Amino acid sequence: MGTIRIIRGDITKIKVAAIVNAANTTLLGGGGVDGAIHRAAGPELLAACQKLHGCATGEAKITPGFRLPAQFIIHTPGPIWRDGTQSEACLLHNSYRNSLALAAAYNCQTIAFPSLSTGVYRYPLAAAAVIALTTIRDFLAANTVIQTVTMVCFDATTLAAYQQAYQQVVGN
C-alpha cells in the first residue's frame, strides 16, 4: 500500500509526478492556491485550461505542469461550503477520488494535494481533513500505481488539522 505524507510547504515547489490544483469550475485561475499554481506554471497553463472548457465540482481534469517541478497538474473544483446539507461531503470525496484516479490513469506514482475547499470555499478544516485522508487511504488500499500521496499544508493550522486527522484515520 502507498504512503501518505503530511508536510507544511508551497505546493508549487514540490517535485512529484502530479500536483492537484484547488481550481474553480472555470479552470481559468483564481485566488489562493489556484492563483499561485497559475502564476508558477506560467501563461501556458491558462491557454491549456481554456481548451478544457471548465470542470464540474467534484470532477478532475489534467494538464501538463509547464514551469512547475511537477509533470502534471490535476485540476479539481471542490465544493463551496453552504451548511453541510448540499452534498458537500460527497463532492469533496469525489474531488479527491477523481484526482487520484486520473493520476493513476496517467501512471503517476507520486501526487501532492493542497487542502481542498478549506480556504475561500470555507469547508470546515477538521471535517475536510478526515474526508481527504479517508478517501486517500481507501484509494491507496485498492490501487497499486500511486506510491506516495503528500498533503501539502500551507500554514500551521492546516498542518495540525491534517496531523490530527491522520491519527484518527490512519493511525501509527
What are the extents of the domains in the chain? Answer: 3-169
93-105 pLDDT, tens per residue? 999 999 999 999 9
Please return the burial class of 71, using the count of CB atoms within 10 Å of its CB with bins 0-12, 13-18 and 19+: middle
Identify the pLDDT of residue 34: 95
pLDDT score, position 84: 95
Residue positions annotated with a catalytic role: 34
* Residue segments in the chain with a per-residue pLDDT below the cut of 50: none
Domain covering 3-169 in this structure, CATH number: 3.40.220.10
The Cα 123–Cα 161 span in angstroms is: 13
For residue 89, the model assigns a pLDDT of 98
| Beta carbons of 123 and 78 less than 8 angstroms apart | yes
Q: What is the reported pLDDT for 172?
A: 61
